[in-house]
Structure 1
């Protein structure tokens, strides 16, 4: 089953511009490169449009925050550090489009809520989180080689974290 490409939100565009601003301030981009990339960010319509704009920048900015309180949020993060929190709600992070070798840190925490992370067949997922009266479910070994490495931390309290691959029957529930 193919995962849908999610449209980029204004919040995701602004987070990408923060990364570009930091890169030019640190001298990793020229002002001309910054200008071109900011234009590309604002023209981006789907998550795959943003990835190449940020791919060569080491992201040291604050983590991208995706917080759902009594609601459901679908997001395709553009940062290499993501803070996902679900309180009486649900967060769905689509990381299935990450390129090979990419390293992403996700702090996924839930309180009476659910965080679902969609990953590719080749993704290596490392769990460093905890559960207290909650549940954490991660997929087995990757079924393809050369994928991204995703480290998941955080705490599930009376809630759950589920990391799923496209072939999982849970994947179809995540996007609805």
Structure 2
């Protein structure tokens, strides 16, 4: 008589159930996609497709693949010991582009802030305000890459700053009140990008001048 085999024993742990995505998880991924659009890593069609998938996602696992090919979606690199030994300060790198992103929300830069050389401004169903009237111009030329998708971007500069336009509107408005400063060394703000079913509005503010700030 043949003895019956005992039932198989499962080894290891069962996979945990998928974690439900929160509204904050979706908004964070949508912001990463908006920055990727502003930086030219993905185009407008791909951005729209991925954003639709973001807000249709039910679990965190569904969000990961949508940003896996972007820098912000990469796993952190292992820490390396610096030449100065433990506790040494990291080397100083160059200043990258400033990203001002509004996804279903608002974002602003105003008051005393450093402009840098490049600003990526993205408004997706939201609004962005860039107020240069009290800003500190670190470089003479400042490029604003403005992308308004069902949103609005408002840009204000001092009256003695040159303002130039290299943007386009598609079923939206891209309005820049161009101006050339009399001083050839004055800061120059160049507004690039596009507006789709949204608006970009840039103009000088009368009575605000860069030289007034330098007296502070």
Q: TM-score range by the shorter chain?
A: 0.5 to 0.7
Structure 2 counterpart of 1:55: none
Q: Measured at CA, do residues 126 and 141 of structure 1 come closer, stay the same or move farther in structure 2, by a change above 3 Å?
A: closer
The answer to whether residue 108 in structure 2 is matched with residue 71 in structure 1 is no
Q: Distance in 2 between matches of 1:87 and 1:94?
A: 19
Structure 2 unaligned segments of length 5 or more: list them: 1-89, 208-216
The answer to whether residue 99 in structure 2 is matched with residue 62 in structure 1 is no
Q: Distance in 2 between matches of 1:100 and 1:138?
A: 22
Structure 2 counterpart of 1:149: 188
Structure 1 unaligned segments of length 5 or more: list them: 1-33, 39-58, 169-176
After TM superposition, the score normalised by the length of structure 1 is: 0.55
> Secondary structure of the residue that 2:205 maps to in structure 1?
coil
What is the Cα deviation at residue 101 of structure 1? 6.9
* Contact 1:98–1:148 (CA under 8 A) maintained in structure 2: no
Q: Distance in 2 between matches of 1:83 and 1:154?
A: 10
| 1:18-70 CA-partner distances (Å, limit 9, x unpaired) | xxxxxxxxxxxxxxxx9xxx9xxxxxxxxxxxxxxxxxxxx954311110011
1:60-99 → structure 2 map (5 Å cutoff): 61-76=95-110, 78=114, 79-96=116-133, 97-99=135-137
Q: Distance in 2 between matches of 1:167 and 1:61?
A: 31
Q: Measured at CA, do residues 100 and 66 of structure 1 come closer, stay the same or move farther in structure 2, by a change above 3 Å?
A: closer
| 1:138-171 CA-partner distances (Å, limit 9, x unpaired) | 1242476453111111110000111122239xxx
Could you list the runs of 4 or more consecutive aligned residues of structure 1 that deviate by over 4 angstroms after TM superposition? 98-101
Larger Rg: 2
User: Which one scores higher on RCO, CA 8 angstroms, separation ≥ 6?
Assistant: 1
Q: Distance in 2 between matches of 1:89 and 1:98?
A: 26
Q: Distance in 1 between matches of 2:166 and 2:180?
A: 18
